[in-house]
Amino acid sequence: MGGPAINASKPRQRESKPIASAPSENELRDKIASQLFVTLFGSGRNRKATHIAELSIKAANDFITVLHR
């Protein structure tokens, strides 16, 4: 018959989560570089893949530099 009373006047409290800060320029560069090398060298090392990785990392670095201005 009489279940537990619901107190509607008390708002439900949420757990507070810390706000993640934006990654630094160096952290972004390191992450991009490691992802590119894992992707490109997964199928074997060769000169063309190395050159593509170097060009891609340079382009990513330029892009990140522009974003952080």
Cβ(25)–Cβ(68) below 8 Å: yes
CA distance 65 to 31: 15
- Residue 51's pLDDT is 78
Q: Can you give the residue ranges of every domain in the chain?
A: 25-67
pLDDT tens readout for residues 5-55: 655 566 666 666 666 777 788 888 888 877 777 776 665 567 777 777 788
Asked whether the CA dihedral 30, 34, 36, 41 is positive or negative, the reply is: positive
